[in-house]
Amino acid sequence: MVDAESFIDDAVDEISEEIGDANAVIGLSGGVDSSVAAALTHRAIGDRLTAVYVDTGLMRKGETDEIRETFSFMDGLRIVHAEDRFLDALGGVTDPEEKRHVIGEAFIREFEREARDAGADFLVQGTIYPDRIESEGNIKSHHNVGGLPERVDFEGIVEPVRDLYKDEVREVARELGLEAVISERMPFPGPGLAVRVIGEVTKEKLEVARDACHVVEEELEAYEPWQAFAAVVGKATGVKGDNRVHGWIVAVRSVESRDGMTARAQELDWETLQRIQSRITGTNENVARVVYDVTHKPPATIEYE
Ligand code: XMP
């Protein structure tokens, strides 16, 4: 485990040296990795850092408001409303890898503009060690690793937490004094809810996934999962009144893990599962059934796409 205090001192020195008198931009996702990278860089270069939060419409319930509040101390916080642009770009796209690429491209476009406006020469990224390993091994493309550096004309890329595991990033977040809502936050994939709806991304599926994820996060907090969420995985027959209907299948997933590279499905009690089922079907009348995913990683991944 890294010594958080000395890590921070070294990281701040290194960032100051790398960026010098220039300006930098960071994409803030609300997750612990980019938050720590932003806080470290803010310590190093202050208001010469512009933190850009892109509301892609693929975020968790209430996330944009939380970001606005949590990072209100940063003068350089920019919130970009890009929901419609992301949905348009994702129209008709069903292949999982293509979805990631489309989202990556859409991010780049938002960033190019913001970085230009900020006059930023450096791009700061919250890439952590497992992201690099999985991307280098071509296991999947991380939108926060691929694409951006090649397309945007930055003088340099700064990745202050590139050698840390997630639990070490959390330790650094606590030491930096970031709020628990950030330091203890569950990982959330860069492509957001797009990888929690199978097939084409639509507004309706996103709403089902967003509400269901919120229920699962609330209900399973006490289990302290590495990640707990819900995904819209298809359609199935259900019954409403006297009629058979075709509604959404929502899969609930809750896993334990150290670094996300392997994971174990959590054992949950029946009452909790039933409460989740009844809240999800109660919130959205178009959900026909709720299932619980008992698969470990491997052979499954944590996310659905
Ligand atoms: P999988 O689904 O591959 O995910 O088992 C492992 C961990 O990585 C997160 N994840 C991502 N994080 N960009 C990210 O920043 C991505 O494209 C991405 N895809 C998956 C996932 O939530 C899990 O914690």
Per-residue pLDDT of 33-91, as tens digits, reads 999 999 999 999 999 999 999 999 999 998 898 888 888 888 889 999 999 999 999 99
Look at residue 20 and give its three-state secondary structure: coil
pTM score of the predicted model: 0.86
Q: How confident is the model at residue 259 (pLDDT cuts 50, 70, 90)?
A: confident
Nearest atom (ligand 1) to Cα of 139: 3
Structure-model confidence comparison of residues 68 and 18, the more confident one? 18
149 is written with which tokens?
Answer: 């550096």
Measured CA to CA in angstroms, residue 84 lies from 57, 80, 117, 126 at distances of 8, 11, 21, 25
pLDDT of residue 302: 98
Q: Is the CB of 191 under 6 A from ligand 1?
A: yes
With the most atoms of ligand 1 within 8 angstroms of its CB, the residue from 102, 107, 142 to mutate is 142
Q: What is the dihedral of CA 106, 108, 109, 112, to 10 degrees?
A: 160
Three-state DSSP class for residue 145: coil
Q: What is the distance in A from the centroid of ligand 1 to the CA of 21? A: 34
The structure tokens listed for 197 are 């709806």
Is residue 303 within 6 Å of ligand 1 at its C-beta?
yes
What is d(CA 20, CA 224) in angstroms, rounded to the nearest whole number? 41
Q: Which residue has the higher pLDDT, 251 or 153?
A: 251
pLDDT score at 146: 46
CA 176 to chain centre: 21
Ligand 1 nearest-atom number relative to CA 100: 17
* 145 within 8 A of 126, measured Cβ to Cβ: no
Ligand 1 centroid distance, CA of 303 (Å) = 7
pLDDT at 66: 84
Contact present, 71 and 207 (Cβ < 8 Å): no
Q: Is 185 in the pocket of ligand 1 (CB under 6 A)?
A: no
142 pocket-lining for ligand 1 (C-beta < 6 Å): yes
Give the closest residue (by CA) to ligand 1 atom 13: 190
Residues 6+ positions from 122 with CB-CB distance below 8 Å: 18, 19, 22, 23, 24, 25, 154, 155, 156, 157, 158
Task: Provide the pLDDT confidence category of residue 97 given band limits of 50, 70 and 90.
Answer: very high
What ligand 1 atom has the least distance to the C-alpha of 297? Answer: 5
How far, in Å, is the centroid of ligand 1 from the Cα of 142?
Answer: 8
Q: Which residues pair with 238 in a beta bridge?
A: 245
pLDDT reported for residue 1: 82
Q: pLDDT per residue over 277-301, tens digit each?
A: 999 999 999 999 999 999 999 999 9
Q: Is the CB of 160 under 6 A from ligand 1?
A: no
Distance, CA 245 to ligand 1 centroid (Å)? 33
Question: pLDDT by residue (tens digit) across 123-170?
Answer: 999 999 988 887 766 555 554 544 555 666 789 999 999 999 999 999
